Structure 1
Amino acid sequence: MTDQDFIDAFAAGRLAPEGFDHRAHLRAAFLLLRSRPFLEACIAMRDGLQALAGKLGKPDLYHETVTVAFMALVAERGTEGDWDGFIGQHPELCRLGLLDGWYSKALLASGAARKTFAMPDLMGERHG
């Protein structure tokens, strides 16, 4: 699937939620950030993820802090070029525990962090 086909399907809610893994989240983030300002991309990502969670019958699956934190990590690395080149240059983004150096498990498990972006509580302890 081309990048354009992928992001069009994501925005329209046509992707199968069961196959929307971490790498697919990153791809959507990269493509949204490439075409929109940061806050607009975050809103589009939230809307798309909430729609996918709704299709699964799990509307509480969406996590605001994790989403915005990963959007920031992708944006920080830049969105030049294509998806394959980007992820090839930044494979660390695929590591699921990447946020562990910034966020405690307790904070990420909190209902408040699921609903509203939370600032990191482990700033600088372990990155990368």
Structure 2
Amino acid sequence: MSADADLVAAFEAGRVAAGHDGFHHADHVRVAWTYLGRLPLLAAAETFVANLKRFAAAQGKPERYHETISLAYLLLIHDRIVTRGRGATWDDFAEANPDLLVWPSSILTRFYSQALLDSDLARANFLWPDLIPRAML
């Protein structure tokens, strides 16, 4: 099994993949990238969200799931795949898109205020960015 498949299988089983010391931001991005390589956007989003919620619950941290952050990243990853290419491997994609891997000072701060991201509303629901005029969306 490939490293991508191993990571996704562990994620879907609610456990940390062998050889990993946790499930970190780059792992979230990699799982989303993998789903987007297998599924159309909306199916990938549905699968990613369902499994991320299940993973968080299995880790005893269901409150960690954040709808806006999760879907905003998934949409950014999709945009990069469509506009710049998926890359032959995860390493290719990661090397071409290092800004997607930075955490906690993430790319989302270009689009979202910290106040919005910290809100219970954003945690429970996908919200549009508040730092970009709606006419630009």
TM-score range, shorter chain: 0.7 to 0.9
Matches within 5 A, 1:1-128: 2-15=3-16, 19-78=22-81, 79-96=86-103, 97-123=106-132
When normalised by structure 1's length, the TM-score is 0.87
Shift of the alpha carbon at 1:111? 1.0
RMSD: 1.8
When normalised by structure 2's length, the TM-score is 0.82
Q: Provide the secondary structure at the position in 2 that maps to 1:19.
A: coil
Shift of the alpha carbon at 1:18? 6.3
* Identity of matched residues, %: 39
Q: Which has the higher helix share?
A: 1
Aligned length: 124
Unmatched segments (≥5 aa) in structure 2: none
Deviations 1:83-112 (A, max 9, x none): 111101111111222100100111111111
Deviates more, 1:8-17 or 1:83-92: 8-17
Shift of the alpha carbon at 1:30? 0.3
Q: Quick one: distance in 2 between partners of 1:34 and 1:15?
A: 21
Q: Provide the secondary structure at the position in 2 that maps to 1:123.
A: coil
